């Protein structure tokens, strides 16, 4: 699958998972999490080219998509990813909480979404 299609798959399924969670539909949310997980695994398997492709989502219109992309790009695009997460973490709700947790794991040294 081409990198742009993988990026699109990632974004669509992050958004779909968020919407499923807000509806209280964990089963559907988990299905979408597996799909975006597979997409990001394939992107990361392409090395820095895949990471660069994913980085376009740091500018995505949806906060949940920006946050999930940033969480996966903390090692590779540290300054940009942290800026996205820090901005999102100022809010209230599920997505800001996720941003707060990603930053916390990064600071603790336990973050491992894309190890070297």
User: For the segment 38-76, what is each residue's pLDDT rounded down to a tens digit?
Assistant: 999 999 999 999 999 999 999 999 999 999 999 999 999
Domain that holds residue 31: 3-108
Q: What is d(CA 85, CA 77) in angstroms, rounded to the nearest whole number?
A: 12
Whether 16 is in a domain gets the answer yes
pLDDT tens-place string over residues 2-33: 999 999 999 999 999 999 999 999 999 999 99
Q: Is 116 a member of any domain?
A: no
Q: Quick one: pLDDT at residue 47?
A: 95
How many domains does the structure of the chain reveal?
1
> What sign results for the dihedral spanned by CA atoms 77, 15, 102, 95?
positive
pTM, rounded to two decimals = 0.94
DSSP letter assigned to residue 25: -
1: helix, strand or coil: coil
80, part of any domain: yes
Residue 62 maps to a domain: yes
> Looking at the domain assignment, is residue 19 inside a domain?
yes
Domain assignment of residue 46, yes or no? yes
Structure tokens at 10: 């990632």
3-state helix, strand, coil in the chain (%, to 5): 75, 0, 25
The verdict on residue 77 lying in a domain is yes
Closest to 43 in 3D by CA, of 59, 31, 57 = 57
State the CATH number of the domain containing residue 57.
1.25.40.70
């Amino acid at each position: 699958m081409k990198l742009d299609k993988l990026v699109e798959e990632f974004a669509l399924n992050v958004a779909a998972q968020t919407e499923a969670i807000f509806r209280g539909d964990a089963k559907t949310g988990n299905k979408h999490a597996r799909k975006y997980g597979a997409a990001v695994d394939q992107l990361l398997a392409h090395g820095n080219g895949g990471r660069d492709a994913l980085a376009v989502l740091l500018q995505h219109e949806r906060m949940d998509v920006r946050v999930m992309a940033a969480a996966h790009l903390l090692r590779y695009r540290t300054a940009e990813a942290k800026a996205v997460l820090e901005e999102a973490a100022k809010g209230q709700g599920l997505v800001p909480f996720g941003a707060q947790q990603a930053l916390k794991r990064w600071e603790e040294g336990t973050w491992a979404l894309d190890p070297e």
